[in-house]
Amino acid sequence: MQNLLEELKKLLEKDERLVVDGKLLKNKIIELSLKLDPDLIKLLLKNESIKTHFFQEVDGGVLVFDKIKFQKFVSNKAFLPDSYTSFKNKIGLVTENEEYLSESKEVVLVWPYKDCMLEGGMEKEDEKRDEIFYNEILAPDEIDRLLEPKVLTNFKKIDKKGEHKVKEIKGNDNLIIRGNNLLALHSLKKRFAGKIKLIYIDPPYNTGNDSFTYNNSFNHSSWLSFMKNRLEIAKQLLRDDGAIFISIDENEHAYLRILCDEVFGRDNFITSLVWHSKYTTSNDAKYVSTQHENIIFFAKNKNNFNIGLLDRTDKMNNAYKNLDNDPRGPWKATPLHAKSGTEKGKYQFLFKNGVKWIAPQGRYPRFSQETLRKMDEENRIYFGKDEKATPNAKTFLSEVKQGKVVGSVWSFDEVGSTHKANEELAELFGKGVFDNPKVIGLIKQVLKVGNTKDAIILDFFAGSGTTAHAVLELNKEDGGNRQFILCEQMHYVDTVTKERVKKVIEKLGGGSFIYLELMKLNEKYIDEIKKAKTAKELLNLWEIMKEKAFLSYKVDVKQFDENVNKFEELSLENQKNFLIECLDKNHLYVNYSEIDDEDYGVREEDKKLNSEFYNR
């Protein structure tokens, strides 16, 4: 058998789909075998020993692949042994059909998951776990429970004077919410559906180096489902005249654009903005040094969306002079001819001062004769100091748009660079507290383009809190009344996100926000599991979890207890991973519908604030 094992390993390693970081993916092998993947079958047939062992000959010399035999062989502990996986299987992590989780079709992940929900429980960027997809058709109860509004707790009001107890939640309060952002968005739905003017998000770029550290063998599909789940609820929160801006790099830009076409409607696409974010090139780039990022820009309803103008610069205004002391103020000379037109539309015009004009060769009149005559009467034509030069129309500064039309390329000179973003954060905390923050000027420009002077702005990948920083500064600059809502589940929300906004409020001398959290249920056991130092602590926690936690339906408690010696043989890291797997991630937080359940111990003051929040 050992020779067959080695032969099979060497054979399968030839299929790039089955290898990640030099290791064969057992689940992927099983998935393809169950699907009777043609390329896998062809590969197996190339080896005589493998062919003899896993194929049966029937009448006429036809070979039939015994996928059940192959699956059992690959699932054997001797093939790609992993003590953690083996233990999971042994103690009964199974599906409702009593198939081992690692062998079940339930975990075969393929895109598109147009009817699936990505379950999320990650809180630290270095965490990795095989994400589970719930099918909305097969498991509607699980989906409904997962997305129910959650109990909110740990309310704190923070302003320039410090931290205060929250007595009430007002309609214009800024909010920072800690917890899973998908669940936070669904918790916001009752209060804010159809009320958000602008959403800006800077999600994980799925580069392999960012916070999206999900199962590598299904990484791209996982990311698409992860984004789709969140964009669908985001759309429900937007006003009819609202818009969404999504930062992304080239790695997933094309796929995200198509996904947004589906969620928001292709007709509501505005543009893909380009942020020229780096002013230097990387000498160690393998092919091309990337110096830009993209911002995908969609309206909820393009017909209702009114785009904002950017601030006019001194350079733009200085181009307007008043060479003839016109009482209407500064003006800029505009040629009377244009590039487009027809020969039929050409004409010769005689001005009242006797000057004759005709469009130059290859050019055409910009104005009709009637319009030009009216402009002549209203002293809107300039003929130079001697009144004999080529005539030009006078375009008055007072009559042009009081702002600059938005361009599709935003330079670091205009909105700032990634280097500047790091410097801005370093001014508040010192260096190295957060990787890849966005620059304040970029978000300010997004807010202006989105026409948000008196509106609610949502960022559900809050990161270091740049969006809140930009909102507070822009309100101070233009007298706006913008309100922000941030959602963040990563551990740095307390040390970076919240603290940054607090420091900005102190610096500006005004502003405030309410900090709150989704009330933890199974999440608190995850916290305790992570803190444990020994196997004994984890086993004590297991006893508590059996009594009080919501365990996954895939867990056989009796099997666990009967094989506890095997659990103790695992490394401490794998012991922790296993106990976390045992928890039902649909019960990470307490549902608002169960706020009066005494087992959850929700405080009376929290009940009052939750009632205000959800029933406003």
In a domain, 234, yes or no: yes
Tell me the backbone φ, ψ of residue 279, rounded to 5 degrees.
-100, 5
Residues 418 and 481 in one domain: yes
552-576 residues labelled b (16+ CB within 10 A) or e (exposed): bebbbeeebeebeeebeebeeebbb
Burial of 543 (0-12, 13-18, 19+ CB in 10 A): exposed
**How do residues 390-431 score in pLDDT, each as one tens digit?**
999 999 999 988 899 999 999 999 999 999 999 999 999 999
Give the whole-angstrom CA distance, residue 187 versus residue 516: 12
The pair of three-digit structure tokens given for residue 390, joined into one six-digit string: 């080529």
The tokens 């429970």 sit on which residue?
145
In a domain, 87, yes or no: no
The DSSP letter of residue 494 is I
Residues 392 and 428 in one domain: no
Give the whole-angstrom CA distance, residue 187 versus residue 40: 45
Give the whole-angstrom CA distance, residue 15 versus residue 37: 12
Cβ-contact 568, 535 below 8 angstroms: yes
Q: What is the CATH number of the domain that holds 192?
A: 3.40.50.150
Tell me the backbone φ, ψ of residue 157, rounded to 5 degrees.
-100, 125
Burial of 148 (0-12, 13-18, 19+ CB in 10 A): middle
In a domain, 615, yes or no: no
The pair of three-digit structure tokens given for residue 233, joined into one six-digit string: 């609820």
In a domain, 121, yes or no: no
In a domain, 109, yes or no: no
Give the whole-angstrom CA distance, residue 436 versus residue 466: 11
Around Cβ 610, how many Cβ atoms within 10 Å?
23
Give the whole-angstrom CA distance, residue 331 versus residue 313: 16
> Among the three residues 486, 512, 538, which one is the final residue of a domain in this structure?
512
Number of domains in the chain: 3
Q: What share of the chain is helix, strand, coil (3-state, %, to 5)?
A: 45, 20, 35
Residues 277 and 188 in one domain: yes
The DSSP letter of residue 359 is P
What's the confidence (pLDDT) of residue 78? 57
Q: Which of 142, 234, 244 is nearest to 186 (CA)?
A: 234
DSSP 3-69: HHHHHHHHHHTT-GGGEETTEE-HHHHHHHHHTT-HHHHHHHHTSHHHHHHHEEEEGGGEEEE-HHH
Give the residues of the chain that fall short of pLDDT 50: 1, 94-98, 100-114, 125-126, 129, 137-138, 214-218
Please work out, in degrees rounded to the nearest 5, the angle formed at the alpha carbon of residue 21 by the alpha carbons of 19 and 24: 30
Tell me the backbone φ, ψ of residue 96, rounded to 5 degrees.
-65, -15
Give the whole-angstrom CA distance, residue 248 versus residue 312: 28
The pair of three-digit structure tokens given for residue 609, joined into one six-digit string: 């604030």
The tokens 């930009």 sit on which residue?
470
329: left (phi over 0), alpha (psi -120 to 50) or beta: left
Residues 171 and 232 in one domain: yes
In a domain, 588, yes or no: no
Residues 167 and 274 in one domain: yes
> Among the three residues 358, 379, 399, which one is the final residue of a domain in this structure?
399
Range of the domain at 194: 156-305+405-512
Residues 362 and 234 in one domain: no
Residues 49 and 180 in one domain: no
What's the confidence (pLDDT) of residue 214? 45
- Sorted by sequence, the CB contacts under 8 Å of residue 62 that are 6+ apart come out as none
> Among the three residues 493, 512, 531, which one is the final residue of a domain in this structure?
512
Three-state secondary structure along 125-175? Answer: CCCCECCCEEECCCCHHHHHHHHCCECEEEEEEEECCEEECCCCCCCCCCE
- Sorted by sequence, the CB contacts under 8 Å of residue 502 that are 6+ apart come out as 158
The pair of three-digit structure tokens given for residue 510, joined into one six-digit string: 């005004």
- Long-range contacts of residues 20-23, Cβ cutoff 8 Å, at least 24 apart: 20/216, 20/217, 21/216
DSSP 71-98: HHHHHSTTSS--HHHHHHHHTT-B-TTS
In this structure, are strands 292-299 and 392-396 parallel, antiparallel, or unpaired? unpaired
Residues 279 and 416 in one domain: yes
Around Cβ 199, how many Cβ atoms within 10 Å?
25
The pair of three-digit structure tokens given for residue 563, joined into one six-digit string: 């094989």
Residues 360 and 274 in one domain: no
In a domain, 278, yes or no: yes
Residues 186 and 295 in one domain: yes
Question: The pTM is what?
Answer: 0.77
In a domain, 523, yes or no: no
3-state secondary structure (DSSP) of residue 551? strand
In this structure, are strands 23-24 and 19-20 parallel, antiparallel, or unpaired? antiparallel
554: left (phi over 0), alpha (psi -120 to 50) or beta: alpha
Cβ-contact 151, 183 below 8 angstroms: no
Residues 474 and 459 in one domain: yes
In this structure, are strands 409-411 and 269-276 parallel, antiparallel, or unpaired? parallel
Give the whole-angstrom CA distance, residue 212 versus residue 206: 6
Residues 434 and 484 in one domain: yes
